Amino acid sequence: MKDRRKNNDEDREEKGEEKSVVLRVAEAYHRDAGRGIARIDTETMRKLGVVSGDVIEIEGKNIATAIVWPGYSPDSNKSIIRIDGNIRANAGVAIDDRVRIKKTKVKEAKKVTLEPTQPVRIAGGERYIARILKGRPITKGQIIRVEMLGNPITFVVTNTIPLGTVIPQIDTEIVLRKPREEAIGVPHVTYEDIGGLKREIGMIREMIELPLRHPELFERLGIDPPKGVLLHGPPGTGKTLIAKAVATETDANFYSISGPEIMSKFYGESEKHLRDIFEEARKNAPSIIFIDELDSIAPKRGETTGEVERRVVAQLLSLMDGLESRGQVVVVGATNRVNALDEALRRGGRFDREIEIGIPDRNGREEILQVHTRGMPLAEDVNLKEFADLTHGFVGADLASLCKEAAMHALRKILPEIDIEKEIPPEVMEKLKVTKEDFGEALKSTEPSALREVFVEVPNVKWD
């Protein structure tokens, strides 16, 4: 066996093929997401003969490219490659999959044709896009995600001149086509879009991702895979976002049910709607059914006076119990009032695991700020650690509002230079920076959700 492998390596060298290495995929750090980079340890870089800034080819089900950077010291000798959700989607792989990587040759892009996945109007047009894509390796057919003032815009690369892996420059001709009508597999929310919930995501992946991707593990152990996960915690902490990210990462169909919307005044209509969604999810497995505001459709039957609520709770219990023949379908429930739920839903075999999604701590707030300022033109005086210290009690939704308000404050300062009727010149766009002052003003008008209902008077007590 060793001789055969040695002969294969020798044949590869004789044919002039590049050296390759197989690595396990891991999620990217928040600070690296959206930058088109892959981190591998220095020993692997030495084996491949690459240095920082080189472009590598990542082979999974498909081929993706990325700029290689050295990994951080905790990743040494782990044989992993850290890439973000966009690169994973282009390579057709998920976290913990194996990929083969090797150095690849790149050319300077003369012309790149892009097709947005949704109607967009970009100030500065093609020239501004060229500035954003400068230095990022792209190939025909791949999906690229560009963050502009905190808003992600997704494009499909429909053609490049020359063909192969190319790197755009400032003078590269960018052609923007009309958005396509048919749907494509675009990664909407990935694990890198969620900050401050690493431990919770690990627990949810164990309960949801494993049953969907590797049901044979549970068959081998002789146990039933988990049927449901209940997420509970204050509003705005990221419960819905986590469910969407898991659906994206597992390539599962996502069905969302909003509690209040499902209730109907007509007899049997609410139960029928529930049955239809569960049946459609079963037919299109693997699927995730997400039920938001679960307490509104499944309150404690002893405390409710409405007949509709009692019938809906009974129907939901029946559907959850009948999931043994569901195929690969997992139910995720979310509620802000876990103690208001009917007790029967919380027993084993229905919602097998309850996970609290709490208020982020200081490090969590810094991660969330990194996510929401990704692609935002920050001035040099902005220190996210400082604002993480100042935002005690803020949840993810509050921090997202803070970043948007800071961006709007920066926008108001250049409004006098903008003619609303005309296209915004690239020079004005380049001047647009979000400063420490903008964040300071935004902080004055953003109130933390976790403290809105609690008013504490701080006594003026001094040591003397």
Question: How does pLDDT run across 48-98, given as a tens digit for each residue?
Answer: 999 999 999 999 999 999 999 999 888 888 999 999 988 998 999 989 899
| CA distance linking residue 105 with residue 50, whole number of Å | 11
- Domain-located, residue 189: no
Chosen domain end from 296, 331, 356: 356
Q: Which helix (H) or strand (E) holds 155?
A: strand 151-161
- Within 13 Å and on the Cβ side, how many CA atoms surround 69? 15
Pairing of strands 37-40, 98-103: unpaired
| pLDDT value of residue 455 | 43
The pLDDT value given to residue 409: 92
Could you list the residue range(s) of the whole structural domain that residue 163 is in? 107-176
Are residues 54 and 87 located together in one domain of the fold?
yes
Residue among 53, 88, 79, 57 nearest 67 (CA): 53
Residues 246 and 333 both lie in one domain: yes
Q: Which residues make Cβ contacts (< 8 Å) with residue 103, sequence separation at least 6? A: 18, 19, 48, 49, 50, 54, 55, 56, 57
Both 350 and 233 in a single domain? yes
| Enclosing H/E stretch for 253 | strand 253-258
Q: Which residues of the chain have pLDDT under 50?
A: 1-16, 182-187, 455-458
257: domain CATH number? 3.40.50.300
C-alpha 98 chain-centroid distance: 20
Contact present, 238 and 357 (Cβ < 8 Å): yes
- Say what the pLDDT of residue 150 is: 61
Same domain flag for 216 and 343: yes
d(CA 60, CA 72): 23
Domain-embedded: residue 40 = yes
User: Domain check: are 290 and 424 in the same one?
Assistant: no
Look at residue 228 in the predicted model and tell me its pLDDT. Answer: 87
Contact 354, 313 (CB under 8 A): no
Distance of CA 221 to the CA centre of its chain: 31
- Which residue, of 338, 356, 374, is where some domain finishes? 356
CA distances from 355 to 9, 174, 287 (A): 48, 46, 20
- The two three-digit tokens of residue 11, written as one number: 């044949």
Neighbours of 460 (CB within 10 A): 5
Residues 378 and 414 in one domain: yes
Distance CA 327, CA 188 (A): 25
Which of the 8 DSSP states describes residue 322?
G
Strands 253-258 and 80-83: unpaired
- Domain boundary (356, 373, 390) is at 356
Cα–Cα distances (Å) from 301 to 260, 283, 298, 313, 342, in that order, read 17, 31, 8, 8, 6
Instruction: Indicate the angle between helix axes 307-321 and 269-283, nearest 10 degrees.
Output: 20
d(CA 396, CA 365): 8
Q: What's the DSSP call for residue 291? A: E
pLDDT given for residue 48 in this prediction: 92
Establish if 68 belongs to a structural domain.
yes
* CA distances to 62, 111, 152, 174, 365 from 170, in Å: 28, 11, 21, 10, 35
Q: Are residues 210 and 315 in the same domain?
A: yes
Q: Could you tell me if 202 and 217 lie in one domain?
A: yes
Using the structure block, give the residue that is written with the tokens 């002039």: 16
Q: Indicate if 324 and 201 belong to the same structural domain.
A: yes
pLDDT at residue number 453:
54
Q: Is cis: bond before 187, omega within 30 of 0?
A: no
Same domain, 143 and 124: yes
210-263, pLDDT tens digit by residue?
888 888 888 888 887 788 899 998 888 999 889 888 888 887 888 888 877 776
Residue 377's domain is classified under what CATH number?
1.10.8.60
Bridge partners, residue 39, by sequence: 69, 82
Q: In what order do the strands lie in the sheet with 143-148?
A: 143-148, 151-161, 111-116, 173-176
Going by their DSSP bridges, the two strands 111-116 and 151-161 should be labelled as antiparallel
Residues 10 and 23 in one domain: yes
What pLDDT shows up at residue 267? 64
Q: Is residue 463 part of a domain?
A: no
Rounded to an integer, what distance in angstroms lies between the CA atom of residue 368 and that of residue 208? Answer: 23
Q: Is residue 233 part of a domain?
A: yes
Task: From residue 446, give the alpha-carbon distance in Å to each of 370, 382, 455.
Answer: 18, 18, 16
* Residues 164 and 120 occupy one common structural domain: yes
pLDDT at residue 186 in the model: 47
Q: Are 288 and 208 in contact (CB under 8 A)?
A: yes
pLDDT for position 246 = 85
State how far the Cα of 320 lies from the Cα of 228, in Å rounded to an integer: 8
Q: How many CB atoms lie within 10 A of CB 72?
A: 12
Helix (H, G, I), strand (E, B) or coil at 283: helix
